[in-house]
Amino acid sequence: MNSVTFSEIVRIHERPFFLGRRGTWRQLLPWALTLALGLPLLVLVLHFIDPETPLSFIVLPALAGGLMPVAMMGPGRFEMNTRFDARHMISTLDEALTSLGYRRTASETDHISYFRPRPWLRGREGAIEVAVTPNALQVVGPVGSLRLLQQRIAH
């Protein structure tokens, strides 16, 4: 892996998939229930444990943690640059994505698609697209999955 370098994960300035479409109640329902029921329960438990703690010291971190999935689901991109032909890295990429639960769905000479079936996602949401160039693989997908992918490939 000495001849492979990773670029930083760059956010693509698009709306996350659940904000761009109507009828996505299946994606929003678990998150909304967690915010509506789980966070107040967490705040009450933490306040019960230490009633002297100011409520803002409990509520603000809980809200920040509840909003974290929005940051992880947005689209992003990174590149894997090599000194040799980038097609040699495809098998390593396949192994890493398979370990994350993704399956290859389309494969062309310059483009590969991966998909991880999840019951709360519709259609191709959460898919990873890979553009193959002579010395680089450009990977586009959800930021959280890209971070996990970089960790799997680097180790």
Boundary of a domain, candidates 40, 55, 71: 71
Q: Are residues 84 and 142 in the same domain?
A: yes
- Strands 128-133 and 103-107 come out as unpaired
Structure tokens given for 23: 């009828």
Q: Using 50, 70 and 90 to split pLDDT, how confident is the model at 19?
A: low
Q: What is the pLDDT of residues 110-119, one digit of tens each?
A: 899 998 876 5
Q: Are residues 125 and 61 in the same domain?
A: no
Q: Are residues 83 and 8 in the same domain?
A: yes
Place of tokens 């603000």: 60
Q: Using 50, 70 and 90 to split pLDDT, how confident is the model at 4?
A: confident
Q: Are residues 64 and 78 in the same domain?
A: no
> Domain tally for the chain?
2
pLDDT at 22: 46
CATH number for the domain that contains residue 136:
3.30.70
pLDDT at 23: 43
Mean of pLDDT values over 65-69: 76
Could you give the CA distance from residue 96 to residue 100 in angstroms, rounded to a whole number? 7
In DSSP terms, 129 is beta-bridged to 113, 140
Q: Are residues 86 and 149 in the same domain?
A: yes
For residue 149, give its domain range: 4-12+74-154
Q: Are residues 46 and 117 in the same domain?
A: no
In DSSP terms, 82 is beta-bridged to 4
Q: Are residues 87 and 27 in the same domain?
A: no
Q: Are residues 57 and 100 in the same domain?
A: no
Stated pTM of the model: 0.65
Whether the per-residue pLDDT at 130 is higher than 90: the answer is: yes
Q: Are 53 and 47 in contact (CB under 8 A)?
A: yes
| Torsion angle of C-alpha atoms 137, 139, 145, 150, degrees rounded to 10 | 30
What are the backbone angles phi and psi of residue 154, rounded to the nearest 5°?
A: -70, -25
Q: Are residues 27 and 102 in the same domain?
A: no
What are the backbone angles phi and psi of residue 147, rounded to the nearest 5°?
A: -65, -45
